[in-house]
Amino acid sequence: MALSRIYAVFLRQVYLIRGNPTRLASVFLWLLIDVIQWGFVRKYLISFGEETFSFVTVILGAIIFFEFAARIQQGVMTSFLEDVWSQNFINYFASPLTLSEYLSGLVLTSIATGLLGFGAMVLLAGLAFGYDVLRIGLLTIPFMGILFLFGAAMGIFVSGVIFRFGPTAEWLGWPIPFLLSVFVGVYYPIATLPEFFQFIARLIPASYVFESMRALLAGNADSSLLWTNLISGAALAIAYLFGGYFFFIQIYRRNLRTGAISRFSAESI
């Protein structure tokens, strides 16, 4: 893969944002609303004299990390949709650009927007509510790594679904983070879920992150279980990333073979 071509895909997205700064609303707006909402809920409950472990404190941190994963997923998907909406997708492949380079450029874009959003949330939570989201220390790095890989896998997979069924399938991608939040333990421990839902949760990398985070903040984390969770979460995230990439490639080859790729050209509009 050529880094210059990956950077070119990323640079196109930067120019799109520069040309229309309202696109930044998708990066920051909902993130800041979530932090403000749960930050005030936390302040309200603390006013009752809560001095010990606060479930809202854990939720605030979990939301910040979960929104990071959601921004990664939606960053990849939105970047792909920008090319679909502008009928620019096919134009890329009139150049030497390969599919892996194109997807890498989308992921690079999502890294930038995801980190910007995460930084804004951390800053707001600290300045407005005195909340230190980094209180878990160096484990922040592997936690974010797992969430990044999983978010990128979701974004590539959803882009593949849109590529398969056409631009009107984009609505399938937006509710995915909200659906997954039911299973991954953002708001409550996995043990509170029905048994079948717990089985689904064990298949989602993010659930291992939030279970570990909750145990750390509660002060009852077992080191061996913590490492097991990190390894399991990372292994699943990597597997899903490769699976999403393979899925997108197969859809691309199918569309080339059947001619369905013409739905993404300007001439078909």
Q: Per-residue pLDDT tens, the chain, 269 aa: give them.
A: 788 889 988 988 888 887 777 777 767 777 778 788 777 877 776 676 554 456 666 778 888 888 899 889 988 998 888 888 877 778 787 778 888 999 999 999 999 888 888 888 888 888 877 777 777 778 889 999 999 999 999 999 999 998 888 777 778 888 888 888 889 988 888 988 999 999 999 999 999 999 888 888 777 777 888 889 999 999 999 999 999 999 999 999 998 888 877 776 654 44
At residue 127, the pLDDT reads 82
Q: Residues 263, 89: contact at Cβ < 8 Å?
A: no
Which DSSP string do the residues of the chain spell out, in sequence order? --HHHHHHHHHHHHHHHHH-GGGGHHHHHHHHHHHHHHHHHHHHHHTTT--S--HHHHHHHHHHHHHHHHHHHHHHHHHHHHHHHTT-HHHHTTTT--HHHHHHHHHHHHHHHHHHHHHHHHHHHHHHH---TTTTGGGHHHHHHHHHHHHHHHHHHHHHHHHHH-GGGGGGTTTHHHHHTTTTTSSS-GGGS-HHHHHHHTT-HHHHHHHHHHHHHHT---HHHHHHHHHHHHHHHHHHHHHHHHHHHHHHHHHHHHSGGGGGSGGG-
Residue closest to 158 by CA, chosen among 95, 110, 225, 207: 110
CA 241, CA 232: separation in Å to the nearest integer? Answer: 14
At residue 159, the pLDDT reads 92
Tell me how crowded residue 23 is: count the other CB atoms within 10 A of its CB: 15
Q: Residues 156, 148: contact at Cβ < 8 Å?
A: no
- The encoded tokens of residue 4 equal 């210059």
Tell me how far apart the terminal alpha carbons of the chain are, to the nearest angstrom.
Answer: 32
Query: Rounded to two decimals, what is the model's pTM?
Result: 0.87
At residue 235, the pLDDT reads 96
Residue written as token pair 């903040």: 217
Q: Residues 38, 124: contact at Cβ < 8 Å?
A: no
At residue 217, the pLDDT reads 77
Radius of gyration of the chain (CA): 20
Residue closest to 92 by CA, chosen among 37, 12, 200, 185: 12
CA 269, CA 266: separation in Å to the nearest integer? Answer: 6
At residue 264, the pLDDT reads 66
CA 154, CA 206: separation in Å to the nearest integer? Answer: 12
CA 122, CA 111: separation in Å to the nearest integer? Answer: 16
Helix axes 140-165, 99-129, angle to 10 degrees: 130
